[in-house]
Each structure stands twice: as C-alpha cells, then as structure tokens.
Amino acid sequence: MFGAPWVCRRCLFCATGLMRRRNLRFQSTAASDEIVSPALLGRARSVSAEHSRLTQELAESFNTKTARRIGEISSVANAFADWEKATDSLTELHSLLADPTTDAELRSLASSDVDSAQTALRAAGSALTTALVPAHPFASLPCLIEVRPAAGGSEAALFAGELVRMYMALSNRLGWPAALLSVTHADVSTTGGGGSDDAAGALAEAVLEIKRAGAYDALRGEAGVHRVQRVPATEKNGRVHTSTATVMVLPSFPEHGTGNDEVNFEDPNSDYYVDPREVRVDIMRARGAGGQHVNTTDSAVRLTHEPTGIVVSMQDARSQHRNREKAWHILRGRLAAARREAREEEALRLRRSVVGVAKTGRNDKVRTYNYGQRRVTDHRSGFTVHDLDGVIEGGEALQRVMESVKAWLMDQEIKAMVSEEEAKK
C-alpha cells in the first residue's frame, strides 16, 4: 500500500525535465582551423624522414625507383620544411615578446612581425595539408557531365537545360573544349503562351564531354542534386515551384587503340601490362626422354594468368616461338578487357553513389538556385552568392561557388585521412 506507485516513464521525465530538448544548432560547415591536425603532422614527419633517407641513398647509388619515389614525396617534404620554418619563427617571436629583458624597440618590432608570421604559418599549414592529401585517382582525366531532370516535371526539364547551358558557358569562358555527346529533348506538352523557346530548352537527358585533362578534378564537386526555386514559365498562377535536376560527373577514359600513341606493354599503369611473374607458362613437352629420343611436332603453349585464372592456349603455328607470342598477345587483350570492365564497374559505382534511387528528392540537394532572392547557395560548403545571373551564365560567380565546394571536398578528405591515421594507431 505504501510502496511506490507505478509512474509512466514519460510523465516522470517530463516532470523532472530529463527529456528537455536542447535547442542547439550544430554548425553545418567546417570551420577552417589553421592548426594542422597531429595525425597529419605525424604522417608528414615520417614522409619527410623517408625523403631525407632516400636522398642520401640516391647520392650513394643511382636508382630509378628511388628517384621516382623521391619525386613523389618531395612536395610533402618541402611543404613540411616550410611549415617547420614558419613554426620556428613564430615561437621565436613569442619567446621574444614573453621575455621581460627585451627592450621596447625590439618588442614593438616583434609584435608587428607576429601577424605576418602567423599568416605565413597559416599558408604553410594549408600548403602542407594540400600536399598531404593524395590526388584523386581520376583527377587528371577529362570528364563527362550528365544532366537529367528529377522532381518537378517540365519545369525540371527546363532547369536541366539551363544547367547544361551553364556548364557549356563555363567551359567556353575557360577555353576548355566541350562537346554535347547526346541530347534528348523532353516533349513539353503544357507549353505556355511564349513557351516555344523554353520547350526547346527542355531536356530529358544531356551528356556533355569536356575534353581537357584535369577537368574531372575541377568539376567533380558539381555532382549531385541541384534545386531551383522560382516561378516557372509553365506556371499560370504565379506560385513558386521547387524542382530539381541531377548532375553526374564521370571521368572520361581515353579509348585505347584509337589514339596514335603506341600501347605500352612495359608501363605498369597501362591496361596492357601483364606482370610476367604472374603468368604460368606450360609447354606441352613430349612424354618420356625428350631431346634426341623423340621428334615431336607438338608446339602448343599454354599461359595461365594466376591472379585472374585466365587461360590462353595456342597451338596453331608450327613454331613454338610464334605460338608463345600469339598467346601473350591474346592474354594481354583479355586482361585489358577485364580491367576495362572493372573500371567501368567502378564508374558505375561512382554514378550510383552520386544519385541513389531515393536521393533525387528536393531535400537531398547540394545547391539551390533561388530566383526570388537572386541567390545561389551551396549546401555543402554553406557558401552563398547573390549573383544568380552570373552563376547561370557560367561566370566568375559560378567559379567562386565551385572553389568553395572544392575546399569543402578537401576538408572532407583530410578528415577521412585523419580518422584513418588515427585508426591505424
């Protein structure tokens, strides 16, 4: 009877205030902190130690492999040396200022230098992080931009056309060769009074190729859902609509065999490269003693690529030598095809990661073009410009938005790298 009565948990929490929601807003954009993360610093330190060791090694005996490795890591080592220098000078200035015996003139000089030293350190730090972040594997490739309307019907189709024109204008302005590989126009049935122009601009799909090395790196931040908020040309009652279009940016791989440059079998990065150690060679030998005891005409050669299990056997020619050459040729071709397929799969995976089935809605946008406020906001970097026309015409403003996205991507990569480094420990 005097035992504690049962109380509903929700009532209990409400009474004691345990469930009170804290109204906090978490900053959605990364603050650009100037301090290089300790994990990255550790990595930089080890890389520069390796650099000095290799340089010493190279002074003793020349080795192409060592030389190439040095070339790869020298940028990190240089950036790290700069950063160390900047840190040293800043600490020296601080110690001067902290020292009570410093005379007044020197102190004023030092305090005026602190600012410049700090900016130098900041620059060195950002240079160091940039050097540390590995380049995207496809960074040096040209790219394909695919634009498709998503939510919003004909208005979305119109907006997709505008996006394509925006990217074409951008590449024209920058002098990058761009070509529309395929355009499919949507048939907009509900065209308004003066809608013939708009109907021409309504897209079902467009693929734009930008044939410039490094275009993929410059434009890969554009991938995602672009949202537009405006009163559409097709709207009669003057309501603001929100529609979206999806943009996909894919690396464009150069096609082999069409170029005039010879296919290089020796280059390990080439599709046609086959490591001879991974290939098992079987020659159909005569059973028994062999040598002078038999005069076999069997010239068959079988190659087995052990990592993939691809088998090529060749017995057409009487010459074993020729059979072997032919078998190698076919093996190279098959492996190249397999590798191309793998790469295409990778591209497909990229495409799916950009636009998932449920990710083309109005909420999953990366950027908003708001016509009412003449504003373009990128939701990843949190960057806003109030120069909508400049963006839509592919002008300077678009480039500023793209640069902010690039910085954000870099930030994400650094974060991923730091967490990776920490996970390693």
Partner 1 sequence: MPRLTPSFLRRAEKINPLLPLLLRACRDLRSAQNELRWLTEYARGCNSGAHPRWKPLLLDLCKHRSQGVPLQYLLGSEYFGELEIRCGPGVLIPRQETASSVSYLASRLRQGDFGDLNLNRLRVIDVCTGTGCIPLLLHRLLSRCCHDSSSLRLLGVDVSPIALHYATLNRQLLLDSLLDESRTMAPLRLDGIISSLLSMSFIQADVLPSSVQSQRSTIPQLLPALRHLGEPSWDVLISNPPYISSRAFATTTSRSVRKFEPRVALVPSTTNTCFRSKPELREYLHHVNQGVAKLEEGDLFYPRLLDLADEMSVKVCLFEVADLSQASRVSLLIRSREKWKSVEMWRDEPTLPPDGDGQEPKGSFRVLGRGCGRSVVCWR
> Where along the sequence are the contacts to partner 1 (CB under 8 A)?
281, 283, 285, 288-299, 315-322
Rounded to 5 degrees, φ, ψ at 304 are -125, 120
Of 189 and 295, nearer to partner 1 (C-beta) is 295
Of 134 and 291, nearer to partner 1 (C-beta) is 291
Q: Which residues pair with 230 in a beta bridge?
A: 241
Gyration radius from the chain CA atoms: 31
Contact in structure between 214 and 140 (CB atoms under 8 Å): yes
User: Least separation, in Å, of the C-beta of 310 and partner 1?
Assistant: 19
Of 90 and 300, nearer to partner 1 (C-beta) is 300
Of 109 and 281, nearer to partner 1 (C-beta) is 281
User: Least separation, in Å, of the C-beta of 300 and partner 1?
Assistant: 8
User: Least separation, in Å, of the C-beta of 278 and partner 1?
Assistant: 12
Handedness of CA 397, 403, 406, 411 (dihedral sign): negative
The closest alpha carbon to 408, from 397, 416, 398, 396, belongs to 416
Q: Which residues pair with 302 in a beta bridge?
A: 282, 313
User: Least separation, in Å, of the C-beta of 299 and partner 1?
Assistant: 7
Quick one: DSSP state of residue 376? Answer: E
User: Least separation, in Å, of the C-beta of 326 and partner 1?
Assistant: 13
Of 211 and 322, nearer to partner 1 (C-beta) is 322
**Amino acid letter, residue 209:** E
Of 94 and 280, nearer to partner 1 (C-beta) is 280
The closest alpha carbon to 216, from 142, 110, 130, 158, belongs to 142
User: Least separation, in Å, of the C-beta of 68 and partner 1?
Assistant: 24
> If you search the block for the tokens 């890389």, which residue do you land on?
47
Distance CA 86, CA 127 (A): 12
User: Least separation, in Å, of the C-beta of 302 and partner 1?
Assistant: 12
Distance CA 341, CA 345 (A): 6
User: Least separation, in Å, of the C-beta of 332 and partner 1?
Assistant: 19
Q: Cα separations (Å) of 61 from 34, 55, 66, 172?
A: 40, 10, 10, 50
Contact in structure between 161 and 203 (CB atoms under 8 Å): yes
Of 322 and 359, nearer to partner 1 (C-beta) is 322
Distance CA 243, CA 380 (A): 19
Q: Render 85-136 in DSSP notation, one character per residue.
A: HHHHHHHHHHHHHH-TTS-HHHHHHHHHHHHHHHHHHHHHHHHHHHHHSPPP
User: Least separation, in Å, of the C-beta of 298 and partner 1?
Assistant: 6
Contact in structure between 324 and 301 (CB atoms under 8 Å): yes
Of 78 and 320, nearer to partner 1 (C-beta) is 320
The full length of the chain comes to 425
Of 187 and 316, nearer to partner 1 (C-beta) is 316
